[in-house]
């Protein structure tokens, strides 16, 4: 689907569908009233007949006949009058879905009301939503017609205006760049969704390396190296290699690097958990809990896919993406309960739960990241604990940090990106749960505070680096469609990573 931006008058559009976002009462919207006047009062009459109140996801269809050149008009409900970034993104998704329902090949979408201050975010979010709302993982559907997406193009009209106008009196010049930015972020998010939704049979550690190489091939500013098991063994990454020992597929550590054209202002490193399938090992998951464990590389998908958007948009920072990829399976070679593993930084760890494997791979990956990239800021992303879902539900990621300033900056980026994250504490009293009688620490604690003890385990491997840990177990995958979020892998965290890396 093609996304374009124009400053031409939307009422002159000959698109199959003209989509108009409405927050609350449509009669209070000046643009809607102008369209209604052109239609001789038929639009608001139709809205009244259908009890259209501008609620999120509501739509009202009217046909202008000869009054306007477009084929149909749709009022798209945005919800509360206060326009949030997430609500603007959903507007784009709703507009696409109405167009699909009406079998419109091309849609003209008027931006929601914006001010000079909010123009850029509104343009970006609506563009993101149109693409994210069209997402469908149809690779394995035999019915190709069911997989088809009828909307071929969406044109975003930016001349709707509220508040201070630009010098020329029209839409701000930056709107086009904002729409393009949104399209780049959405494309990276859809790429991450594809990675998460791909069956583990095909999305394995070697294939992740191939994907990273393909992204690097697109951008002169990006390079990649892939380390095999022998190279990781020389580095002392015993914890990471132990998790993948039960698989016949070789574990891989992927390291992507983005270098800006000018001297980098700072170095930011993003680490993603890359367990491409998690059986739980000898702490075997029940079938119902294992069936979706292809999603256990959602952190990896987020960081790898983000690099494409970062390189497309550009960043003043040197960016590193690292993911230690493996499969946690059961075999005669698999690591065992009671084993003691020595990490890359020399810490000995007693294994009390082979299903607490993500923190083992991340522990070594975080050590590698600090030694090899020397970051000013270090982030990790992981579907790490069910406990975080118990604490925050299925839509919110848990954020842990050892640095107040960085934590605030990251949460601000999340807010700007329209992604739901909430900070949780690294309660030091709970660290006693990780004590071991035979090693420096154990890899799992008690049931209570499980997300926190996982964070405390990771913090042990952080030296003097400002660090943020994001537990995205809840929002990484969803079971039902909502707004711009489709069923399956969500690509969560891509938008915030790109926001933080490029602003």
Class (C level, CATH) for 186-502: alpha beta
| Fold observed for domain 2-168 | 3.40.220
In SS3 terms, 62-97 reads as ECCCCCCCCCEEEEEECCCCCCCHHHHHHHHHHHHH
Q: Return the pLDDT at 202.
A: 97
Average pLDDT over residues 304-332: 98
> Where exactly are the structural domains of the chain?
2-168, 186-502
Domains 2-168 and 186-502 share a fold: no
Is the pLDDT at 371 greater than 60, yes or no? yes
Q: How confident is the model at residue 78 (pLDDT cuts 50, 70, 90)?
A: very high
Of 369, 346, 377, the closest CA to residue 501 belongs to 377
Q: Return the pLDDT at 150.
A: 80
pLDDT, one tens digit per residue, over 4-56 is 999 888 999 999 999 999 999 999 999 999 999 999 999 999 999 999 999 99
Could you list the active site residues? 285, 359
Residue corresponding to tokens 């992204």 = 215
pLDDT, one tens digit per residue, over 145-179 is 666 668 999 999 987 643 344 445 466 778 999 99
Distance CA 258, CA 320 (A): 6
- Count the Cβ atoms, other than its own, within 10 Å of residue 164: 10
pLDDT, one tens digit per residue, over 186-209 is 999 999 999 999 999 999 999 999
Q: Tally DSSP H helices, then E strands, for the chain.
A: 16, 19
Please say whether the beta carbons of 159 and 8 come within 8 A.
Answer: yes
Average pLDDT over residues 224-253: 98
- Count the Cβ atoms, other than its own, within 10 Å of residue 436: 15
Q: Return the pLDDT at 144.
A: 67
Q: Return the pLDDT at 162.
A: 36
pLDDT, one tens digit per residue, over 425-473 is 999 999 999 999 999 999 999 999 999 999 999 999 999 999 999 999 9
Q: Which of 60-64, 164-168, 211-215 has the lowest mean pLDDT?
A: 164-168
Q: Return the pLDDT at 160.
A: 65
Please say whether the beta carbons of 203 and 296 come within 8 A.
Answer: no
Distance CA 121, CA 216 (A): 28
Q: Return the pLDDT at 82.
A: 66
Q: Return the pLDDT at 113.
A: 82
Please say whether the beta carbons of 198 and 151 come within 8 A.
Answer: no
Is the pLDDT at 476 greater than 80, yes or no? yes
Please state, for a pLDDT cut of 90, what percent of the chain lies above it.
90
The model's pTM: 0.96
Q: Return the pLDDT at 355.
A: 98
- Count the Cβ atoms, other than its own, within 10 Å of residue 408: 12
Q: Return the pLDDT at 146.
A: 63
Average pLDDT over residues 268-288: 98
| End-to-end Cα distance, the chain | 27
Q: What are the two backbone dihedrals, phi and then psi, of residue 372, each rounded to the nearest 5 degrees?
A: -95, -25
The set of residues, in sequence order, having a beta carbon less than 8 Å from that of 142 and lying 6+ positions away, is none
């Amino acid at each position: 689907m093609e996304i374009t931006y124009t400053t031409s008058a939307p009422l002159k559009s000959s698109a199959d569908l003209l989509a108009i976002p409405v927050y609350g009462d449509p009669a209070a919207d000046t643009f809607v009233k102008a369209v209604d006047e052109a239609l001789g009062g038929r639009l608001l009459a139709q809205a009244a007949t259908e009890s259209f109140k501008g609620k999120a996801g509501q739509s009202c269809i009217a046909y202008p006949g000869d009054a306007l050149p477009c084929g149909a008009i749709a009022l798209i409900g945005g919800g509360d009058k206060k326009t949030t970034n997430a609500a603007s993104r959903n507007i784009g998704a709703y507009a696409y879905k109405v167009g699909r329902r009406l079998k419109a090949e091309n849609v003209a979408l008027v931006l929601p009301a914006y001010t000079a201050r909010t123009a850029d975010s509104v343009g970006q979010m609506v563009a993101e939503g149109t693409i994210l709302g069209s997402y469908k993982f149809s690779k394995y559907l035999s019915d190709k017609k069911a997989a088809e997406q009828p909307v071929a193009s969406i044109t975003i009209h930016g001349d709707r205006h509220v508040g201070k106008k630009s010098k020329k009196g029209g839409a701000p010049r930056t709107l086009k760049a904002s729409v393009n930015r949104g399209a780049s972020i959405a494309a990276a998010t859809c790429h991450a969704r594809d990675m998460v939704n791909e069956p583990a049979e095909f999305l394995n550690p070697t294939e992740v390396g191939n994907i990273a190489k393909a992204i690097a091939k697109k951008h002169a500013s990006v390079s990649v190296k892939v380390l095999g098991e022998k190279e990781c063994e020389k580095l002392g990454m015993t914890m990471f290699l132990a998790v993948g020992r039960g698989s016949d597929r070789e574990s891989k550590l992927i390291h992507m690097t983005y270098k800006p054209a000018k001297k980098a202002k700072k170095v930011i490193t993003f680490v993603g958990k890359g367990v491409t399938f998690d059986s739980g090992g000898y702490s075997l998951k029940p079938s119902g809990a294992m069936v979706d464990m292809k999603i256990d590389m959602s952190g990896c998908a987020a960081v790898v896919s983000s690099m494409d958007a970062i390189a497309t948009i550009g960043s003043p920072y040197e960016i590193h993406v690292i993911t230690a990829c493996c499969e946690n399976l059961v075999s005669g070679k698999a690591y065992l309960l009671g084993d003691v593993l020595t990490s890359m930084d020399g810490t000995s760890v007693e294994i009390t739960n082979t299903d607490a494997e993500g923190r083992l791979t991340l522990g070594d990956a975080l050590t590698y990241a600090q030694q090899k990239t020397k970051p000013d800021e270090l982030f990790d992303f992981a579907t790490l604990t069910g406990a975080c879902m118990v604490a925050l539900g299925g839509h919110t990621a848990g954020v842990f940090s050892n640095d107040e300033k960085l934590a605030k900056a990251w949460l601000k980026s999340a807010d700007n990106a329209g992604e739901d994250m909430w900070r949780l504490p690294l309660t030091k009293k709970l660290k006693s749960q990780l004590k071991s009688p035979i090693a420096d620490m154990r890899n799992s604690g008690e049931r209570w505070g499980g997300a926190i003890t996982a964070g405390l385990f990771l913090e042990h491997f952080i030296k003097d680096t400002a660090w943020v840990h994001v537990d995205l177990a809840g929002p990484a995958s969803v079971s039902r469609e909502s707004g711009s979020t489709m069923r399956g892998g969500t690509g969560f965290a891509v938008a915030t990573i790109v926001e933080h890396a490029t602003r």
